[in-house]
Structure 1
Amino acid sequence: MKRITLLTLLLISYFTAAAQDQPNLTVGAKAGINLYSISSDALVEDDDVGLSYEFGIYGRIGDRLFVQPELHFVSHKTHLITLTQPTPGERDAITVRYLRLPVLLGYRTDYDGRLASRVRFMAGPSISYAVSVADNNLNIQRNDIHNAQFALNGGVGFELWILHLDLMYNHYLTSFFNDGRSEGKGRAFSITAGLGF
């Protein structure tokens, strides 16, 4: 966790310094919640959507058209019954924590409404690396899942002065479990609020 905090502080310092030299660079931080589930999988008997959290930093380069690299710490949770667990039929929460690196390409409108302005549309790829798996009764550990998971991300954002609100969908392309029989992939909706300068 200390390494994550240090990396986050270094990136904030870098983006802040760059913003002073580059007027079209916005830096910010955001936090929010996500809903996560796994698509149909031969190893999963049943699963429910789980609610968890995420937070991170970003740098937005450009004005109307922009590139937005980000760094997130993400927790994804789902409630599963698997075919390989020690106690058949027992449901438990699986929480996996990731470092996620998305790079989004976007378009920002010049819309200026009463509640929100500068609507943003964005999409792009990301890679997530599993940092840890919380203890669970299903005997799922970190080596049971793919450490690196690729995804496509898309969404819309709204701006109100320095407050930014983003609604995003993450469609994972890598199967959750690293068992060769597994085909289930993660799906997540998130809503985050943040500040940009």
Structure 2
Amino acid sequence: MKMNKFYLLVAVMVITAGAAKAQDSDLVFGVKAGVNYGTLPTSLKAITDKKGKVGYNFGVFARVGKSLYFQPELNYVSFKSSYVYAANTYTPKFNQLNLPLMVGYKLIDTEALNFRISAGPDVNYTLNEAKGPVGFDYKKLNFGGVINAGVDIGNISIDARYSRGLTKINKGLNEKTGLFNLSVGFKLF
């Protein structure tokens, strides 16, 4: 059932981009790759020595509109975190499909240079089994929000982003996700 919802969101993204292309000539498609720093913020006092780890991401994006735009993406994201719980160290690793659906505004909008800000919902589906304490399973489907700042120089896009989980990725450990991301993209057309 959860996987069906994910496929539905991907279909909405593709249909929206296709419909926008038919109505607007300002449609850009591109590819991107970058690094990220993942954390698992929690208020549970039994978790100590929390550390984020560096990971990577790559994906595709579309940008539809002029000064005000819609930017759906589909990304593969890999990150891990480390923490101590009940005198044991855990380092869960997450390989996720990530679907941010952002609305943005170009603060500076010229042919050669754009400065952009955007925000929107973020859907994550974990592809692997992240290892945690026995009895504390990590959820596959999670929802969050994302804020993004970017610059376009010609066909190159550079984005800095923070994604924050709004649902708990692990209810028992009271964990959500936090992900800082820096990526470079290339507009294909």
TM-score, scaled to structure 1:
0.77
Give the partner amino acid of 1:123. Answer: A
* 1:133-183 CA-partner distances (Å, limit 9, x unpaired): 36x5x5569x8111111111002000110000000011111112143xx32
Q: Which residue of 2 aligns with 1:3?
A: none
Q: Which residue of 2 aligns with 1:5?
A: none
* 1:25-48 CA-partner distances (Å, limit 9, x unpaired): 100110101111111242523310
Given the superposition, is the C-alpha separation of residues 177 and 161 from structure 1 closer, same or farther in structure 2, using an over 3 Å criterion?
A: same
Q: Contact 1:120–1:158 at 8 Å: present in 2 too?
A: yes
SS at 1:107 equivalent: strand
Q: Contact 2:24–2:65 at 8 Å: present in 1 too?
A: no
Q: 2:166 aligns with which of 167, 173, 192?
A: 173
Give the partner amino acid of 2:99. Answer: L
SS at 2:108 equivalent: coil
* 2:102 is the alignment partner of 1:100: no
Q: Structure 1: how far apart are the matches of 2:151 and 2:134?
A: 38
Q: Post-superposition shift, 1:23? A: 1.6
* 1:63-89 CA-partner distances (Å, limit 9, x unpaired): 100001111111121112223xxxx33
Give the partner amino acid of 1:146. Answer: K
Gaps of 5+ in 2: 1-9
Q: Structure 1: how far apart are the matches of 2:32 and 2:67?
A: 21
Identical-pair percentage: 25
Q: Structure 2: how far apart are the matches of 1:104 and 1:57?
A: 14
Deviant stretches of 4+, over 2 Å: 18-22, 40-46, 109-112, 138-141
Q: Contact 1:110–1:118 at 8 Å: present in 2 too?
A: yes
Q: Which residue of 2 aligns with 1:4?
A: none
Q: Contact 1:66–1:105 at 8 Å: present in 2 too?
A: yes
Q: Which residue of 2 aligns with 1:190?
A: 181
Q: Contact 1:34–1:54 at 8 Å: present in 2 too?
A: yes
Q: Which residue of 2 aligns with 1:129?
A: 125
Q: Structure 2: how far apart are the matches of 1:140 and 1:38?
A: 17
Q: Which residue of 2 aligns with 1:120?
A: 116
The answer to which of 38-47 and 100-109 deviates more is 38-47
Q: Give the paired residue count.
A: 174
The alignment's C-alpha RMSD in Å is 2.8
